[in-house]
């Protein structure tokens, strides 16, 4: 693909703060960054965009000191630097705010803002009087209305972002990178954050703004760099561009937007019905149906509300409106255990932190959701370890978990085999509904094929499948229907030959005009 480079008509006098030249990075022989080169100018909002897995996060990690590049150079203020650790990045004035906001639960605002500030006394502790004074100044600059003594657990997502920006300013950051800062914000909160970003760059700070909202990027950002498959496909420097041009650079070709309203194929009775499920910050009037024996894909970008919807169905997150119907009956799951008892299984996005006990055995991890079936009777509530091993071995063989035996530690398995263990957990008793969030995330090609085989066989046996994936190719290959979310709202539904990567991407970047007009 030919690199498009729009020459600047904007403020030429703004100097490069960071210069990235021919930076490359590979993981397991697969190139994540391919000779990436561009400048980040001081006093500019620089947008980084691209589909999931395009290389944006890999580059951010390289700048943050948590993933050194294999080759290429990074310059700060014209000097080549080595950023080997996060402390190296901080010493250069580079600050990073990730989607997984790094606030310390239970701490107040002041202590979270002061996190990482070098000790100011000989005893190696923070001098809190000048620190508090400095924090008040930063809070005033950001328009923070809540007290510095407020517990961060009580703050909204928008206010937590302000605390993290405040932390960066407490350390005199010259560059602040924000990863999807508006993904979970309301229109009003987004407008407020945009105002703060503009104020930051007016004072000379560089802001790197990672977002999937293309209208937002084209409106807010002075410079834009587009990634596709680890390479830069478009640079916009001090120039206006259009959403269509950005999509062309992301995908590599023009897209034809598909009309909405395709009729679903009914594989059997409706197992799951989601009716008007909403949450003020996450979802807006989401409705869908999954039938017995059907694989319904849920597409969209990170932050579109897919995972939150799955957790609301499963009882892991509350909803403010709407209802969930299972086999024709309204449900009100208060916790995941209620969903499990009703015959719903969930393979979460973060298997290592949300699904697995890494230092326990395979059979322990497989049986954990069905321990009651391992007791002889209610009068003798003792687990049969022999039966646990037999049951675990049977389902591990079904999904071809590669291990010496089921007593091996899960931590000793590859990512693909760990994923198979989580899926095997729900095969002990065939679920009515299985929700899979990123079913092949972090697994190799061979394991991916095995995971897909298991999913199809489970659907063929009558289980309803709801599959969430950021891999559009996976949705095309696996699903009977695909529903796409953008900014918490369904933007379209695809069936049959209409399920293509192009159409999923188009709907993923669609914007709800009703939301804008309401704003």
Q: What is the CATH number of the domain that holds 80?
A: 3.40.50.300
Identify the pLDDT of residue 40: 96
Whether residue 186 lies inside any domain: the answer is no
Dihedral of the alpha carbons of 135, 141, 146, 150, in degrees to the nearest 10:
-20
Question: Within its chain, how far is the Cα of 445 from the centroid?
Answer: 21
> Band of the pLDDT at 372, cuts 50, 70, 90?
low
Considering the domain architecture, whether residues 221 and 333 belong to the same structural domain is answered as no
Whether residue 24 lies inside any domain: the answer is yes
Whether residue 306 lies inside any domain: the answer is yes
* Phi-psi sector, 254: left (phi>0), alpha (psi -120 to 50), beta: beta
Considering the domain architecture, whether residues 227 and 305 belong to the same structural domain is answered as no
- Please determine, for residue 96, whether its predicted confidence score (pLDDT) is greater than 80: yes
Do residues 6 and 235 touch, judged by C-beta distance below 8 A? yes
Better pLDDT: 290 or 211: 290
Identify the pLDDT of residue 69: 93
Whether residue 166 lies inside any domain: the answer is no
475, two tokens: 């949705």
Which long-range contacts does 131-140 make (Cβ < 8 Å, 24+ apart)? 131/170, 134/170, 135/109, 135/110, 135/166, 135/170, 138/113, 138/166, 138/169, 138/170, 139/109, 139/166
In whole angstroms, what is the distance from residue 144 CA to residue 479 CA? 46
- Please determine, for residue 186, whether its predicted confidence score (pLDDT) is greater than 80: no
Considering the domain architecture, whether residues 284 and 245 belong to the same structural domain is answered as no
Q: What is the extent of the structural domain holding 282? A: 255-343+432-442+464-519
Could you read off the pLDDT of 405-421 as tens digits, one per residue?
A: 888 898 888 777 888 89
In the sheet that holds 231-237, the strands lie side by side as: 4-6, 231-237, 223-228, 45-49, 206-210, 175-179, 94-97
- Domain endpoint, select from 219, 252, 285: 252
Whether residue 496 lies inside any domain: the answer is yes
Mean pLDDT of 232-261: 73
- Please determine, for residue 5, whether its predicted confidence score (pLDDT) is greater than 60: no
Identify the pLDDT of residue 67: 84
Whether residue 201 lies inside any domain: the answer is no
Mean pLDDT of 303-325: 91
In whole angstroms, what is the distance from residue 77 CA to residue 75 CA? 6
Identify the pLDDT of residue 515: 42
Considering the domain architecture, whether residues 216 and 275 belong to the same structural domain is answered as no
Considering the domain architecture, whether residues 313 and 437 belong to the same structural domain is answered as yes
Whether residue 136 lies inside any domain: the answer is no
Identify the pLDDT of residue 11: 44
Mean pLDDT of 233-239: 89
The chain-wide mean pLDDT, for the chain, equals 84
Judged by average pLDDT, the poorest of 4-8, 42-46, 209-213 is: 4-8
Considering the domain architecture, whether residues 247 and 331 belong to the same structural domain is answered as no
Considering the domain architecture, whether residues 326 and 216 belong to the same structural domain is answered as no
> Band of the pLDDT at 358, cuts 50, 70, 90?
confident
Considering the domain architecture, whether residues 519 and 470 belong to the same structural domain is answered as yes
Considering the domain architecture, whether residues 279 and 247 belong to the same structural domain is answered as no
- Domain endpoint, select from 222, 252, 282: 252
- Please determine, for residue 152, whether its predicted confidence score (pLDDT) is greater than 80: yes
Better pLDDT: 174 or 375: 174
Considering the domain architecture, whether residues 325 and 436 belong to the same structural domain is answered as yes
Whether residue 70 lies inside any domain: the answer is yes
Considering the domain architecture, whether residues 259 and 247 belong to the same structural domain is answered as no
Highest mean pLDDT among 2-16, 346-360, 384-398, 492-506: 492-506
Identify the pLDDT of residue 100: 65
Identify the pLDDT of residue 442: 59
Considering the domain architecture, whether residues 438 and 316 belong to the same structural domain is answered as yes
Model-level pTM? 0.60
Domains in the chain: how many in total? Answer: 2
Identify the pLDDT of residue 110: 94
- Domain endpoint, select from 252, 268, 302: 252
Better pLDDT: 390 or 296: 296
């Amino acid at each position: 693909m030919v690199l498009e480079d729009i020459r600047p008509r904007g403020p030429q006098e703004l100097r490069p703060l960071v210069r990235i030249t021919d930076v490359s990075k590979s993981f397991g022989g697969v190139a994540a960054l391919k000779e990436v080169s561009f400048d980040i100018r001081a006093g500019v909002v620089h947008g980084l965009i691209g589909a999931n897995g395009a290389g944006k996060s890999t580059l951010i990690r390289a700048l943050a000191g948590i993933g050194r590049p294999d080759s290429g150079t990074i310059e700060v203020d014209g000097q080549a630097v080595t950023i080997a650790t996060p402390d190296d990045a901080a010493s250069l004035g580079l600050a990073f705010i990730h989607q997984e906001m790094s606030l310390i639960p239970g701490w107040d605002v002041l202590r979270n803002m002061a996190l990482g500030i070098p000790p100011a006394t000989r005893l190696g502790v923070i001098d809190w009087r000048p620190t508090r004074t400095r924090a008040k100044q930063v809070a005033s600059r950001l328009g923070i209305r809540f007290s510095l003594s407020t517990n961060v657990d009580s703050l909204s997502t928008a206010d937590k972002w302000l605390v993290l920006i405040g932390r960066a300013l407490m350390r005199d950051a010259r560059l602040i990178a924000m990863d999807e800062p508006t993904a979970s914000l309301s229109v009003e909160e987004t407008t407020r954050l945009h105002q703060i970003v503009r104020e930051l760059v007016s004072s000379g700070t560089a802001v790197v703004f990672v977002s999937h909202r293309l209208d937002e990027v084209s409106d807010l950002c002075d410079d834009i760099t587009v990634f596709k498959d680890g390479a830069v496909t478009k640079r916009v420097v001090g120039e206006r561009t259009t959403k269509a041009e950005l999509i062309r650079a992301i995908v590599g070709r023009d897209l034809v937007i598909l009309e909405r309203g395709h009729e679903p194929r009914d594989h059997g009775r409706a197992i799951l019905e989601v009716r008007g499920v909403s949450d003020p910050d996450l979802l807006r009037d989401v409705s869908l149906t999954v039938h017995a024996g059907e694989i319904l894909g849920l597409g969209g970008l990170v932050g579109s509300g897919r995972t939150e919807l799955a957790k609301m169905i499963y009882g892991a997150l509350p909803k403010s409106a709407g209802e969930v119907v299972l086999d024709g009956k309204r449900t009100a799951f208060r916790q995941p255990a209620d969903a499990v008892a009703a015959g719903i299984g969930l393979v979460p996005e973060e298997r290592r932190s949300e699904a697995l006990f890494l230092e326990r055995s395979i059979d322990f991890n497989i049986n954990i959701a069905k321990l009651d079936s391992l007791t002889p009777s209610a009068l003798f509530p003792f687990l049969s370890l022999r039966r646990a091993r037999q049951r675990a071995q049977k389902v591990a063989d079904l999904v071809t978990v590669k291990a010496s035996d089921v007593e091996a530690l899960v931590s000793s398995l590859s990512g693909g085999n760990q994923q198979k263990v989580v899926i095997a957990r729900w095969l002990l008793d065939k679920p009515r509904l299985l929700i899979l969030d990123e079913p092949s995330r972090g697994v190799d090609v061979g394991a991916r094929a095995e995971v897909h085989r298991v999913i199809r066989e489970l659907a063929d046996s009558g289980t309803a499948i709801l599959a969430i994936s950021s891999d559009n190719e996976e949705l095309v290959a696996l699903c009977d229907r695909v529903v796409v979310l953008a900014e918490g709202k369904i933007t379209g539904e695809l069936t049959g030959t209409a399920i293509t990567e192009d159409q999923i991407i188009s709907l993923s970047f669609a914007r709800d005009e009703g939301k804008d007009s309401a704003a």
